[in-house]
Amino acid sequence: MTRVQVSLLVEAGPEAVWDVLTDPNYIPKLYPDLLNASVDPPGRAAVGQNRKFEARAGKRLIEIKTRVSEMVPLKKFAVTGRRGSALDTFLETVELEKVKGGTLVRILFEFKVSEAYFGPGFDLFALNQAAKLNEELFAKNLKELSELQDPKGR
Amino acid sequence: MPRIESAVNIEAPTSVVWGILADSAYVPKLFRDAVRVEASPPGRSAVGQSYDLTAKVGRIRTHVFLEVVEVEPGVSIATRQKPGGLFRSFRQRTVLEPTRLGTRARTVFEYELSRGYLGQVLNAIVVERLVKDNLRSYSYTLKELSELLPPPSERKTK
């Protein structure tokens, strides 16, 4: 199992970070290799919401399935993997803490690429590294999207 | 009015290219600086469907409001500007044509930036360049996404 931990300061309030985290329309922009997202039930994140993604692994399409598992408004957001996708196990926990100058965001990812899903002929190490890179870039993109300002607010 | 026209040969069947074109969830991938899109009503593209598209210009959030005005499944799709947002006018039309090796996709963008919207906060020259870069890369991204190989699960069942 691969574990990625990232902490960063977002120069925006927890409300702005929470807005990005819980709006499924932002998902394809948060993870570089996720191409689209469908959620059930539709709309903003809620505990129990099922999420299905098409993503790319090199030049191949893959499927990832998750479920929103925990939400503490403006404080904690967690998603876990579901069976039958490219990741055997997946846990993503994002914790927010209001601090001077913005929001301290702590992100923890744990995942395992599914050997059974890919079958023989795939380089699991490369797949693992690609997944890890996506999780690291998730943090950078979350910061960038949360810090966007409206024209009128400038 | 600026006009950007591009055509690409895609090594994928028209049905695959259409699957991407008619799914608004792909819009943030097709346009580099689009960060979010909300289709109303949700679902596959249909005439009358509206897109509220959020894009970034540097650290500024901008909006583009579009309406689907033409859908001929597997053949063509067109959108045009609704009032408000970054553009004074905007029109996009993509036409697909089956070829021996896959699909030829031709896209035409015609647009005019809203000087009133830009004048408040943004540098018009910078925005013009960003818009052109986004529109020029659209066709190549469409090609790249369309040519992705099917998931391993589909390969196993064949």
Across the interface, which of A23, A118, A149 has its CB nearest the CB of B152?
A118
Cβ contact A51:A31 at 8 Å: no
Q: Does some domain include residue B156?
A: no
Over range A19-41, report the average pLDDT: 95
Across the interface, which of A28, A62, A118 has its CB nearest the CB of B29?
A28
Question: Cβ of A83 under 8 Å from any chain B Cβ?
Answer: no
Give pLDDT, residue A153.
Answer: 44
Question: Cβ of B29 under 8 Å from any chain A Cβ?
Answer: yes
Percentage of chain B lying above the pLDDT 70 cut: 96
- Name the minimum distance, in Å, from the CA of A122 to any CA of chain B: 10
pLDDT band at A41 (very low <50, low <70, confident <90, very high): very high
Least confident of A16-20, A89-93, A97-101, B82-86: B82-86
Over range A37-54, report the average pLDDT: 95
Q: Does some domain include residue B158?
A: no
Over range A120-129, report the average pLDDT: 89
Spell out a b/e string for B109-127, using b for 16 or more CB atoms within 10 Å of the CB, else e. bbbebbeebbeeebeeeeb
Q: Do B151 and A63 touch (CB under 8 A)?
A: yes
Over range A100-128, report the average pLDDT: 92
Which residues have CB under 8 Å from A54's CB, separation 6+? Answer: A34, A35, A36, A61, A62, A63
pLDDT band at A122 (very low <50, low <70, confident <90, very high): confident
Q: In the numeric block, which tokens belong to residue A72?
A: 């503490």
d(CA A112, CA A128): 8
Give pLDDT, residue B124.
Answer: 82
Question: Cβ of A118 under 8 Å from any chain B Cβ?
Answer: yes
Give pLDDT, residue A119.
Answer: 86
- pLDDT at residue B157 greater than cutoff 70: no
Give pLDDT, residue A151.
Answer: 76
B35 contacts on A by Cβ (under 8 Å): 26, 29, 145, 148
A60 contacts on B by Cβ (under 8 Å): 148-152
- pLDDT at residue A135 greater than cutoff 70: yes
| Domain map (residue ranges) of chain A | 2-149
B22 contacts on A by Cβ (under 8 Å): none
Q: Does some domain include residue B46?
A: yes
Backbone angles phi, psi at B74, to 5 degrees: 80, 0
Query: Each residue of A58-73: pLDDT tens digit?
Result: 999 999 999 999 999 9
Give pLDDT, residue B35.
Answer: 96
Give pLDDT, residue A7.
Answer: 96
Give pLDDT, residue B158.
Answer: 45
Query: Each residue of B86-124: pLDDT tens digit?
Result: 999 999 999 999 999 999 999 999 999 988 877 766 788
Cβ contact A56:A62 at 8 Å: yes
Across the interface, which of A119, A147, A151 has its CB nearest the CB of B62?
A151
Q: What is the CATH number of the domain that holds B98?
A: 3.30.530.20
Beta bridge partners of A53: A37, A64
* ipTM tops 0.95: no
Percentage of chain A lying above the pLDDT 90 cut: 86
Cβ contact B51:B66 at 8 Å: yes
Q: Do A59 and B117 touch (CB under 8 A)?
A: no
Question: Cβ of B120 under 8 Å from any chain A Cβ?
Answer: yes
Q: Does some domain include residue B155?
A: no
Helix (H, G, I), strand (E, B) or coil at A64: strand
Task: Tally A–B CB contacts below 8 A.
Answer: 71
Domain span at residue B97? 3-148
Q: Do B25 and A149 touch (CB under 8 A)?
A: no
Percentage of chain B lying above the pLDDT 90 cut: 77
Give pLDDT, residue B46.
Answer: 96
Residue with tokens 């026209």: B5
Query: Each residue of B63-94: pLDDT tens digit?
Result: 999 999 999 999 999 999 999 899 999 999 99
Which residues have CB under 8 Å from A13's CB, separation 6+? Answer: A98, A102, A103
Q: Do A36 and B42 touch (CB under 8 A)?
A: no
Q: Do A61 and B150 touch (CB under 8 A)?
A: yes
Question: Nearest chain A Cα to B53, which residue?
Answer: A25
- pLDDT at residue B156 greater than cutoff 70: no
Q: Do A151 and B59 touch (CB under 8 A)?
A: no
Cβ contact B89:B67 at 8 Å: no
Give pLDDT, residue B54.
Answer: 96
pTM for this prediction = 0.91
- pLDDT at residue A154 greater than cutoff 80: no
Provide the number of structural domains found in chain B.
1
Question: Cβ of A152 under 8 Å from any chain B Cβ?
Answer: yes
Q: Do B147 and A150 touch (CB under 8 A)?
A: no
Give pLDDT, residue B43.
Answer: 87
Give pLDDT, residue B155.
Answer: 58
Q: Does some domain include residue B154?
A: no
Fold of A2-149: Alpha-D-Glucose-1,6-Bisphosphate; Chain A, domain 4 (3.30.530)
